Amino acid sequence: MTMMISLRGSLPLVALAMALTGPVAAPVMAQTAAKTTTQVDPEMRLRRIEAEIRAMQRKVFPDGAGKTFVPEIAAGQTTTVPAGTPAASAVTDLLARTDALEAQLTRLTAQIEESQNRSAKLEERLAKLELAAAPPPADPVEPVVTAPVAVTPAPKPVATTPAPKPVVVTPAKPAAAKPATPAASRVAAVQAIEKPATADAGSDEYMYGFRLWEAKFYPEAQQQLQIFVDRHPKHKQISHGRNLLGRAWLDDGKPGTAAQFFLQNYLADKKGARAPDSLLYLGVAMVKLKDTEKACGAFAELAATYPDEVAGRIKNQYDSARASVKCK
């Protein structure tokens, strides 16, 4: 009976205790939940910002380690918080670190944009400098082409003669003879040479030039033979006249002009009576001009084209001229 009274008497006490402790426990649980929510949100925010900074550093410095920014926010020293100190100071410190990281991220972004802008301006300036330094394109120059006159070798040279080399000589207009005023004795000597007077005017002109050349009046012979060549280009003795005109210049000590007449006579009519002679004396003129290659080419062409003449009528002249130069 006494036990029952005690229990009954304690029920009001239990109810009173629960009523008193209830309001106290509810604020404590709410404070704990709020604290947990406040601590988790800044932590996640801090990790996200740090990850963004690392990503930005990898973009700015793609080469790897050793080229990253040193964090401006260092971890604070660990201090012992006395028991009963509220947790608001830790949350405040976490928020301050987050704000500092966001400010650093903003500065990094501004620096990157500034660097990209500066790099673009430098590239544009460099391109302008290169364009200004480049030389202007040269005006096209039309090439002047001089077609050389080539002597075509015979299709089938004799077995004992080496293959001829083409003789290339650019023909030019012969210089007009300008003899000095001759002495009275020379004039008298020239006038003493009789000029033929037959029905063949062309033959008379040629024979008069031949007589002047034979008398070693070379300037007068050059003038007379040039008259014959100009007035009678189709005469039967035209090959003789052109060849003798070259001889008059060669014997007068002018091998360059002589070579032009020899080459013209050979090219004008390779079957002409004095075409072999002109090719022979073309080689002689080249020897006097110290042009060994062209001299050897002329002699080889002569031997290949006119083997009968080389072995017969002009053999002595050919052997003598050929011995004056060393050909390969």
Closest by CA position to 205, among listed 223, 188, 219, 189: 223
| Chain position carrying tokens 């229990």 | 7
Q: In this structure, are residues 153 and 304 in contact, taking their beta carbons and an 8 Å threshold?
A: yes
| Chain position carrying tokens 């080459």 | 263
What is the reported pLDDT for 65? 52
In this structure, what are the phi and psi dihedrals at residue 322, rounded to the nearest 5 degrees?
A: -65, -30
Average pLDDT, the chain: 74
- 3-state SS track over 37-69: HHHHHHHHHHHHHHHHHHHHHHHHCCCCCCCCC
Six-digit token string for 257: 């002009």
For domain 188-323, which CATH number applies: 3.30.1490.20, 1.25.40.10, 3.40.50.11540, 3.30.460.10?
A: 1.25.40.10
- Tell me, what amino acid is at 22? G
Q: Which of 25-34, 173-182, 217-226 has the lowest mean pLDDT?
A: 25-34
Q: In this structure, are residues 298 and 165 in contact, taking their beta carbons and an 8 Å threshold?
A: no
pTM, 2 dp: 0.47
Q: Which of 126-130, 205-209, 220-224, 292-296 has the lowest mean pLDDT?
A: 126-130
Six-digit token string for 266: 């050979």
Does the pLDDT value for residue 231 go beyond 60? yes
* SS3 category, 150: strand
What is the reported pLDDT for 118? 80
pLDDT band at 92 (very low <50, low <70, confident <90, very high): confident
What is the reported pLDDT for 52? 80
Distance CA 72, CA 95 (A): 15
H/E stretch holding 200 reads none
Beta bridge partners of 168: 150
